[in-house]
Structures are given as structure tokens and as C-alpha cells.
Chains A and B, each alone.
Chain A
Amino acid sequence: GAVVSQHPSWVICKSGTSVKIECRSLDFQATTMFWYRQFPKQSLMLMATSNEGSKATYEQGVEKDKFLINHASLTLSTLTVTSAHPEDSSFYICSAGTSGGTPYEQYFGPGTRLTVT
């Protein structure tokens, strides 16, 4: 149980274009989803927390107009990187929180590797 999927698993795009990443909880309802970014050899950096039906809460330093997050249902959240630049190249990981099981445990998706050329 508690499976989270992400799509696509990797994407290459040109500078200036937008990329949408989907995060789905497959077998549970996730009222809260988290979006992380991870640069090589660094730890996870929380970008934003999204609750179903409300606006995402962004961490300090994360541009909300650049990283658009939508959490329209209890099983789907999307992250859109708008006007991507090479410095946005990173490993993007979503996770979903569930009220069952270990308190506040997050189940991670497999990640999306974004390369902006």
C-alpha cells in the first residue's frame, strides 16, 4: 500500500519552455502533498506543501510564479516549471502524506529528473 507515482520519470526540455510533472497517490487519498528538489550530492529541499483544494504554501526562496503547483484532487498534484532555465535542472520528488500508519510519514514518488538545455 501507499504507492506514489510520478510522471514523467525524466524529461529534457529547451530553455524557456514549461514542463509539467504529475504526482499521483495510487491506493490512498493524500490530503497533503509535498514537492522537493534535490541537486546532486545534496539533501532534499522542500519547495512547497500543497493541500487538496487550497493554494500551495511555498518555502522561502521558491518562486511561486515559476513553480506552479495544483492539487485539484485527493490523488493528484502537479508541478509546472514555467520558463525553465538550465539552473532548474534537478531531481524533483513529490511525496504524499497519509493519516494512517506512522504519523506524518511521507511516501515518496520515484522522482522526475529534469534537464533543461
Chain B
Amino acid sequence: GQNIDQPTEMTATEGAIVQINCTYQTSGFNGLFWYQQHAGEAPTFLSYNVLDGLEEKGRFSSFLSRSKGYSYLLLKELQMKDSASYLCAVLDSNYQLIWGAGTKLIIKP
């Protein structure tokens, strides 16, 4: 079956750095997405990786290793507004998005 694993919850301190990991086992791979979802709101797009390596976008970076079935989202200079759930999703061979359960990130002052 298809499976995406990410930690259920993480806690970090304002101003610090946090890394949210995602491992996947899917039938085929056509890219990996990270979305941010604040409570009661719809997800918003953060990043898309299809090749191995690190993609940097401001305070957020996303890394992909296809051989290891692994990705991480790195958030720097954490702000209170970064408190949200972070969803990892993989586009499989049928171009269907397979969603992880999300990681709830709690930022403490």
C-alpha cells in the first residue's frame, strides 16, 4: 500500500530552527509537496520537489532524497505565526496526491 509518515506533533521555540521529516512509500513518484495549514483553514502551498536536493525559499527550505524516500521541511527563524500543521504529499505514478497525516508544529515564546 501507499504510505506517508511524518511526526504527529513537534514543539519549537520562537527564533529557533525546526526540521519536519517525511518518509514515503508510494507506487511511483512524480514529486513531493509541502503545505501549511492553520487551524480551521485550507492548506496553502509551500514547496514542490521533484529532483534530489534542497530548495530554499526565504525562511523555508525543503529537501528531497528519492533513493531514500525521504524529505524534510526546514523552518528557520521561527515566528509565532508558523504555528500550524505541515502536510507532506506525494504525487504518485497516477498523478494522484497521497497525503500524510500532517505534523502539528507548536511554537513557544
0/1 string, A38-69, CB within 8 A of B gives 1: 00001111100100000000000000000000
Partner of B101, one of A42, A106, A107, A111: A42
Judged by a CB distance under 8 angstroms, whether B87 is at the interface is: yes
CB distance from B91 to the nearest CB of A (A): 6
Q: Which of A43, A91, A107 contacts B99 (CB 8 A)?
A: A43
Contact of B102 (CB < 8 Å), options: A43, A102, A104, A110 = A43
Which A residues are CB-close (under 8 A) to B63? Answer: none
Interface-centre pick from A44, A45, A104, A111 (highest chain B CB count, 10 A): A44
Contact A104 B91 (CB under 8 A): yes
* Interface residue tally on A, bucketed by range: 20 to 34
What is the size category of the interface that chain B forms with chain A?
20 to 34
Task: Specify the chain B residue showing the minimal Cβ separation from A44.
Answer: B99
Q: Please report A residues at the B interface, Cβ cutoff 8 Å.
A: 42-46, 49, 91, 93, 95, 102-111, 113
Query: What is B's interface to A at a CB cutoff of 8 Å?
Result: 30-31, 33, 40-45, 48, 50, 87, 91, 95-97, 99-102
List 22 interface pairs A-B (beta carbons < 8 Å), by A numbering: A43-B99, A43-B102, A49-B96, A93-B43, A95-B42, A102-B45, A103-B31, A103-B48, A103-B50, A104-B30, A104-B91, A104-B95, A105-B33, A105-B45, A105-B48, A106-B97, A108-B43, A108-B44, A110-B41, A111-B40, A111-B41, A113-B40
